[in-house]
Each structure stands twice: as structure tokens, then as C-alpha cells.
Structure 1
């Protein structure tokens, strides 16, 4: 949770800095949204790792492993959803190649 809070605070500070430097709210919003999504993704990954460590460190039972599997499935679904929202593509799809700018000579 700390990673999400710190990430959200940092991205929010950068958002307000960009607005103070003359960017419109519309121009600063997309990078803000992407940064916030990345902070949430990092937090989800750390929470999954913590749950795995906690399950293995304590005497694992079928119930605790089942709960862990459910948590991992839900968090994986959330991660995929956020990835699609941020990147506009599934994680296994390749990035669209960028075309170089055409200049008049």
C-alpha cells in the first residue's frame, strides 16, 4: 500500500508542477493517469509477492493456498485490465511501430 500511496503522491506532484509550468490540464492529465496506473500496478505486484511470502512462511494449508490462488487471480485480472487501459493493447501484443516524422526539405 505504501508503494501506491508514494507513487500517487509523486505523480500528483508532477501533475501540479506541469500545470504550474504552463501545460493545460488536458495535456497534463494523460501522463498523470498513466503514472497513477503504473503506481497501482507496482502496488499490486508487491501485494501479490507479499501474499506468496506470507503463505509460504507460515505453515501452508489447503485453505491458505486456495485463498492465495483466489487473490492472485483477482490481482492478475486487475493488472491485465490496467495494462490494457494504460497501453491500449494486451501485454502479449507487440507495440505498434512509430512512424518517423516526414519533413519537407
Structure 2
């Protein structure tokens, strides 16, 4: 009985599909960040004209902007994982992926602290009654 060897490499159409999927998710991540900038800017300008308070508008802008960047980063990390692990899983590419994920994770934690004023693993602060 003859045994057939199974190719270790995925078919070309599958590699192409993963490449385009990764590229699409990257574009989506950039679009989310750009939309976050526009939404944050629009909301800050509305807040400024409605209340006349630049400090409140600035804080709201920073918070909305950070949320948009944070969501966009999640898409970009997903695209990097698909693009590196699924398409070209070499040791060099995996090392680059690890560095990218490490940097983006640090950015995500920093933005989370910026938004909430606490580390993600800390419990939310109790609000002071009457404020």
C-alpha cells in the first residue's frame, strides 16, 4: 500500500486569502483610528461651543481619542498575528511579531490608564456620594 505525503505548505489560494484578510483588517484598524480622531474632534468642538469650557472639552477629546486609538490597535494586532503566523511563520517574523505585540500592548495599557485613571486590573474607584 502506497502512502501519499501530505504537503506541509498551505495552498496558494489559502495564503492569498490570509494575506488579503490581514490587509483588510489593517485597513479597518487605520480607519477606526481615523474615525476616532474625527469623532473626538467633533465632540470636543460641540462641547466647547455648547458649554464654552475648553478644559472639559479637552478632557473629553483625549478620552474619546484614546478609545479610538485603543480599538484601532486591537485590529492592527489581529492583522499582525494573521499576517505573521498564518502567512509567513519564520522565526524572524515571529520575533518581529512579538516585539510589535509587546509595544502595542504597552500602548494599550497606557491608553487604558489615560482613559480610566487606573490600571486595567485595578477595581474601579468608588464614586464619592453627592458629587
User: Could you state the TM-score of these two structures normalised by the residue count of structure 2?
Assistant: 0.72
> 1:79-104, CA deviations, whole angstroms, 9 ceiling, x for partnerless residues?
111212222211100001113228xx
Give the root-mean-square deviation of aligned CA atoms. Answer: 1.5
Residue from 113, 116, 130 that aligns with 1:87: 116
Count of matched residue pairs = 102
Higher relative contact order (CA 8 A, sep 6+): 2
5+ unaligned residues in a row in structure 2: which ranges? Answer: 1-29
- Secondary structure at the aligned position of 1:21 is classed as helix
Residue from 82, 91, 105 that aligns with 1:76: 105
Runs of 4+ aligned structure 1 residues displaced above 3 Å come to none
**Cα shift at 1:21:** 1.5
Residue from 1, 5, 17 that aligns with 2:46: 17
5+ unaligned residues in a row in structure 1: which ranges? Answer: none
Residue from 22, 29, 33 that aligns with 2:58: 29
Q: Which moved more, 1:86-95 or 1:21-30?
A: 21-30
User: Could you state the TM-score of these two structures normalised by the residue count of structure 1?
Assistant: 0.88
Q: Distance in 2 between matches of 1:11 and 1:90?
A: 23
* Residues 1:41 and 2:70 are matched in the alignment: yes
Q: Which moved more, 1:22-31 or 1:66-75?
A: 22-31
